[in-house]
Amino acid sequence: MAVKLAIFDCDGTMVDSQANICRAMEAAFAAEKLPAPDHHVTRRIVGLSLREAMAVMLPNGDGAQHHRLADHYKAAFVHLRGSGVMQEESLYDGLIALFDRLEAADWLLAVATGKSDRGLAMVLHHHGLEGRFVSLQTADRHPSKPHPSMIDLAMADAGAERGGTVMIGDTSYDMEMAVNAGVRAIGVDWGYHDTHELTATGADVVAMQMADLFDILEGKTDAG
């Protein structure tokens, strides 16, 4: 039987992490004596690797400043964790039930995220999700989305072919990555980019709620 592989983005797809991301971004900009960025702008870069994200956030800056901003951002996250003020990155409702149904239907699960190895490990440990995924791909070991490298390695880990693989995410970067990898792209409506952006960048369908994803993956509906 052909392998069925569902690759999930993390921030904005599995967990709601925008509050911590916005706080860390504000601290990074403050360290460079720059005005605090608008939260809507910050939400739009979720999913990119840090250097690429900073280039989008500060297009008039140079490479050295983008590098410093990325370092400030990482330091801010460490401080948030250590000070005990980091907000919980809660799972979106219905995710565990979805994973249970998918595994019962012989789907393998993987993650492809702009988080670091450490950041992803902390989320998975906090929510007891270790061991549920056959592949964990992060920004530490890959070019930034929408490069297809994360999907390619996840498929190799799972022994999956392109025709049996889907990428599930909330941003245009996820959809573009899926298109670049030649796999099915499924958007979700509860994350950080608008539905019309997901469709415009390659989403085959957009799930409006978590419960829709199982039927979409199983080919029981094409409606999002």
Catalytically annotated residues:
9, 11
How far apart, in whole angstroms, are the C-alpha atoms of residue 193 and residue 44? Answer: 7
Q: What are phi and psi of 193, to 5 degrees?
A: -115, 150
Q: For 216, how many CA atoms within 13 A lie in the half-sphere containing its CB?
A: 25
Q: Give per-residue burial for 140-162: e unless 16+ CB within 10 Å, then b.
A: eebebbbbbbbbbbbbebbebee
Instruction: Count other Cβ atoms within 10 Å, centred on residue 1.
Output: 5
